[in-house]
């Protein structure tokens, strides 16, 4: 099985799997997340360019590993995902996050499913299956059928050759990943044995400000800058 990995990043990255060539696409995005439809449209265009260039450079590749920059430096999870991939489906990693960004999470901060927009099937999932939320002995394992996958996944080149591309939905019921997955005609699975992690932990005061949306108010930004 010949795989090429594709990442979008303005920075150089240390790719951990030497047996799989890694292509970094450095095209900047021209909008922000404040405009979600334009953002997903831009991301779809950039992802299409990235995969197209990678496949032109690696004609031998018959499978593609899309890997967002957050997950590049997690070699154990990447190797597990590749090992579990059978080439006949879209296989995504399990994307977990420790988030403390709003005030209630100051008192209840645990590892939960990260990308609920791309993978709504996993909304509400916690990494730990133990009754004690703050100690993980048991966690989810195996494959789980979903409608779409998130920022690290494998797919066969043949669906790209058939014309499947990333795109965007005006009603925003999904992002560019959902658009791609929903047009492949293949089964989509999350591999809970390939667990990827990210962390966003804000100071307590910032959590309070985010909860009250104070960052949107001009007087708060001015006061916060002065203080």
pLDDT of residue 205: 84
pLDDT of residue 132: 54
Phi first, then psi: what are they for 39, rounded to 5°? Answer: -65, -50
pLDDT of residue 207: 76
Enclosing domain of residue 56 = 3-226
pLDDT of residue 150: 96
CA distance 73 to 131: 31
Predicted model pTM: 0.84
pLDDT in tens, the chain (227 residues): 999 999 999 999 999 999 999 999 999 888 887 888 999 999 999 999 999 999 999 999 999 999 999 999 999 999 999 999 999 999 999 999 887 777 776 777 678 898 999 999 999 898 876 655 555 557 889 999 999 999 999 999 999 999 999 999 999 999 999 999 999 999 999 999 999 998 877 788 887 787 786 554 444 444 444 43
- Helix or strand run (H / E) with residue 154: strand 152-156
| Contact assessment for residue 145 and residue 130, using Cβ atoms and an 8 Å cutoff | no
pLDDT of residue 59: 97
Number of domains in the chain: 1
Q: Is 110 helix (H, G, I), strand (E, B) or coil?
A: coil
| Contact assessment for residue 220 and residue 208, using Cβ atoms and an 8 Å cutoff | no
β-partners of residue 99 are 200
- For residue 178, the domain's CATH number is 3.90.550
Q: Tokens representing 173?
A: 């019921």
């Amino acid at each position: 099985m010949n795989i090429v990995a594709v990442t979008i990043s303005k920075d150089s990255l240390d790719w951990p799997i030497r047996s799989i060539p890694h292509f970094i696409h450095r095209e900047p995005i021209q909008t922000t997340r404040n405009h979600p439809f334009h953002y997903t449209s831009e991301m779809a265009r950039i992802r299409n360019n990235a995969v197209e260039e990678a496949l032109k450079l690696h004609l031998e590749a018959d499978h593609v590993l899309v890997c967002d920059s957050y997950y590049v430096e997690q070699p154990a999870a990447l190797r597990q995902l590749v090992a579990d991939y059978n080439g006949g489906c879209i296989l995504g990693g399990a994307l977990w996050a420790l988030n403390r960004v709003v005030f209630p999470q100051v008192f209840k901060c645990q590892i939960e499913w990260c990308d609920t927009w791309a993978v709504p099937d996993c909304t509400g999932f916690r990494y730990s299956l133990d009754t004690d939320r703050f100690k993980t002995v048991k966690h989810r394992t195996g494959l789980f059928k979903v409608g779409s996958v998130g920022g690290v996944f494998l797919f066969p080149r043949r669906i790209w050759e058939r014309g499947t591309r990333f795109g965007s939905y005006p009603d925003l019921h999904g992002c560019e990943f959902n658009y791609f997955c929903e047009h492949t005609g293949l089964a989509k699975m999350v591999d809970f044995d390939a667990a990827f992690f990210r962390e966003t932990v804000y100071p307590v005061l910032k959590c309070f400000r985010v909860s009250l949306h104070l960052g949107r108010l001009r007087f708060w930004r001015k006061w916060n800058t002065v203080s």
